[in-house]
A and B are shown apart, each in its own frame.
Chain A
């Protein structure tokens, strides 16, 4: 079955440093979605990428979808303590409609 892996599993940065998480799928994805889950909270939808090579920005967050539509990345510039949480990528393989979540990257930001 489809597997979606993320690296790193955990990253601890100081406020102001940059952060990147990488998402790799074993199968081609029709789209990729990113979610943020604060500690004790539920996943919150951030963004969806659909096109091969697509890049989208949300303030300090930059999302990229790979050319082969099997990988993606999320880059945060100048992290803040409000960025703390676990970031999940998720995508439906091929023409399927089931959204499979990645393993997640937990981000810790300290002053």
Chain B
């Protein structure tokens, strides 16, 4: 069984440009998460989906970040426009049940904004 798949693996963009990240969770995992991890820190939750509904987006900077999870499977996280401070690793994770059972993380997308 494939794990959580993310693409791209790396992305370098100039500031003010848009960027999008894609995530395919584990089949059967209804809960999907987007985390951001800065260097040397723990992952921080950006948004959590239960099926296709965003149930916790309180940490998502809504002026420039947006996310969607069509049909409750794949998800896309977008930044427009990107700022230098957005450079980080963006991790997607999925779980069988929110908050319980371990999360399975994808390999992440390392974003560098120059």
Contacts and interface: CB of A to CB of B under 8 A. Distances in A.
Interface of A: 4, 30-31, 33, 35, 41-48, 88, 90, 92, 96-104
Contacts of A44: 105
Nearest to A4: B42
Contact of B102 (A41, A45, A100, A104): A45
A102 B42 CA distance: 6
A101 B44 contact: yes
Contacts of B25: none
Given A30-B99, A97-B98, A42 B44 contact: no
Q: 10 closest pairs, A vs B, by CB?
A: A45-B102, A97-B99, A101-B42, A92-B99, A97-B98, A42-B105, A101-B43, A43-B105, A104-B42, A42-B108
Contacts, number: 58
B25 to A, nearest CB: 14
Nearest to B110: A40
B69 interface: no
Nearest to A47: B102
A45 B94 CA distance: 12
Interface of B: 33, 40-45, 48, 56, 91, 98-108
25 contacts: A33-B103, A42-B105, A42-B106, A42-B107, A43-B103, A43-B105, A44-B105, A45-B103, A48-B102, A90-B42, A92-B99, A92-B100, A96-B99, A97-B99, A97-B100, A98-B45, A99-B33, A99-B45, A99-B99, A99-B103, A101-B42, A101-B43, A101-B44, A102-B42, A104-B41
Contacts of A96: 99
B102 A33 contact: yes
Nearest to A104: B42
Contact of B42 (A42, A92, A103): A103
